[in-house]
Structure 1
Amino acid sequence: MAQDKDSPAAPWLGMSRRSVFLGGALLATSGLAALREPVRAVKPFSEKEFDALIPRVVGPWTAENSSDLILPPPDQLSQKLYEQLVTRVYLAESKPPVMFLAAYSSIQQNNVQVHRPEVCYPAAGFVITENEPFTLKIAPNIEIPSRFLVAKQSRRSEMMIYWTRVDNKYPLKWSDQRLAMAEANLKGYYPDGVLARVSMIGLDQTEAAETISDFARELEKSATPAGRKILFG
């Protein structure tokens, strides 16, 4: 059919081949970017749901909420960084008190990622005197790559073992943490992540490592399947 000479021309008429090519390339690129945009892999927990994942009775220890634990600096405790934060002190008649912290976010990306004790303790006036890799054995067939730290302030000496889980990885360094995030992104999703920290006040590092390891093993036994997945993967 002949086109009415008074009707408007098709929008692509009069465009150069170069313009048409560039326009098509931009459309293709935007389409690929949309297809490759990672998606959320884990739904967020409510405060009540997350609190229930962490058992209040762990072997011989029973929990009390505590405001005395060393926390990340206030600007790092925003909802943007941590969706959920649980802090407790666990007491037992025959065991030293144990302090526990779990900081969780259902999505880890760039500036939304777990922050380590190497940041929050110095910000609270502590000096890190020991910082070594530690293999946390929580079951015969389960070993968690973690770190053993000693933080000192005046007369207080706090010894801790902490681990970070990002997706199914246990990064010991910031660079490993970012690599775990990138690997998940390439697979098409944003990973979740948790920092779990168990600590106690004392002077004997060997006793602290043994007590904290005992607590972690009892925690794994006492947690619900969903809680074990969050804390230990």
Structure 2
Amino acid sequence: MSAALTTPTASAGARAGLSWRSSLAVFLLMLLAAVAAWQLTPRALPGAAGAGPLPQLELAVPPVIGEWRLVPSLREQVDLAVDRDGERLISQPYDQTLLRTYQNVRGEQILLAVAYTRQQSQEVKVHRPEVCYTAVGFEVLSLDPARLGVAAAGTQPVDGMRMVARSMHHTEAVSYWIRMGGIYSQNAFDTRLHLLAEGLQGRLRDGALVRASRIVADPREAAAAYPQIERFLSEFTAALTPEVRALLLL
């Protein structure tokens, strides 16, 4: 009789022991997951991406750049943050943006667009111009990586893109670069890979986009337009204070 009573008691003890071990294992796994999540949570870096006040682009970019003067523009520029349906994003990814038109004495115009974001992630990051142009009805005729003819004292060579985009109204030759943390990004894969690597190190990186374009009568004129556009960009970066230049260039 006593043997028959011992078996259920032993089984109950075994189950209790197993339940206790399972609970402990689950607790330890949850604890490890919480620690890992905390370690992998991106955190803003000090410096340009820190929490201090940013210099104002509207004030920092002068109205006269070399032979070019700021003029009112009747032509609307391609927005810096639109979705693939051409609608402006409700959640603005940038801390600051600047859209301007500059003109020289010959009546030639350059459209300048500058954007800066303090913190980027896989979900919120600098928007590539080819995506924005396509979203508002442009056809991208060419898109090529290029070492841009932009020079600024104490900065690295600028690796960017040259693009020709055509809408039903006009054609633009575009030179642009994207600074993504510590790299110049020339494609979306580079961007995601860099942000992933930084995120795994617990870092949030800042980013900037500088885009300049000229309207051309024919796509074949783009090759001749790029040197002029990039001379303007060189004069633009030279006209900035070191503090603002550090936001846009490596």
Q: CA deviation at 1:160?
A: 0.4
Corresponding residue of 2:76: 68
Greater Rg over alpha carbons, structure: 2
Cα deviations across residues 127-154 of structure 1 (Å, max 9, x unaligned)?
Answer: 1111111111322874211111111123
Secondary structure of the 1:137 match is coil
Q: CA deviation at 1:54?
A: 2.9
Secondary structure of the 1:102 match is strand
Cα deviations across residues 81-123 of structure 1 (Å, max 9, x unaligned)?
Answer: 2222210001222572111111221111122011112222122
Distance in 1 between the 2:72 and 2:179 partners?
23
Cα deviations across residues 23-64 of structure 1 (Å, max 9, x unaligned)?
Answer: 123213312321331112214687872323433332222224
Corresponding residue of 1:186: 200
Distance in 2 between the 1:80 and 1:69 partners?
17
Structure 1 56/78 Cα, relative in aligned 2: closer, same or farther at 3 Å? farther
Matches within 5 A, 1:194-213: 194-202=208-216, 203=218, 204-213=221-230
Distance in 2 between the 1:180 and 1:17 partners?
41
Distance in 2 between the 1:47 and 1:21 partners?
48
Secondary structure of the 1:130 match is strand
Alignment pair present for 1:130 and 2:124: no
Corresponding residue of 1:58: 65
Q: CA deviation at 1:155?
A: 5.0
Structure 1 counterpart of 2:172, one-letter code = E
Distance in 2 between the 1:19 and 1:142 partners?
55
Q: Alignment partner for residue 84 of structure 1, among 92, 96, 100?
A: 96
Secondary structure of the 1:201 match is strand
Structure 1 unaligned runs (5+)?
1-12
Distance in 1 between the 2:232 and 2:214 partners?
11
Distance in 2 between the 1:46 and 1:86 partners?
17
Q: TM-score under structure 1 normalisation?
A: 0.83
Secondary structure of the 1:114 match is coil
Structure 1 43/134 Cα, relative in aligned 2: closer, same or farther at 3 Å? same
Corresponding residue of 1:30: 34
Corresponding residue of 2:11: none
Alignment pair present for 1:143 and 2:162: no
Structure 1 212/51 Cα, relative in aligned 2: closer, same or farther at 3 Å? same
Matches within 5 A, 1:106-185: 106-139=118-151, 142-154=156-168, 156-185=170-199
- Structure number with the higher strand fraction is 1
Structure 2 unaligned runs (5+)?
1-15
The count of aligned residue pairs is 221
Q: TM-score under structure 2 normalisation?
A: 0.78
Counterpart contact for 2:146–2:161, Cα < 8 Å: yes
Structure 1 87/178 Cα, relative in aligned 2: closer, same or farther at 3 Å? same
The list of structure 1 runs, each at least 4 consecutive aligned residues, that deviate by more than 4 angstroms after superposition, is 44-48
Structure 1 177/122 Cα, relative in aligned 2: closer, same or farther at 3 Å? same
Distance in 2 between the 1:158 and 1:224 partners?
29
Distance in 2 between the 1:219 and 1:207 partners?
20
Alignment pair present for 1:227 and 2:248: no
Identity of aligned residues (%): 27
Structure 1 153/56 Cα, relative in aligned 2: closer, same or farther at 3 Å? same
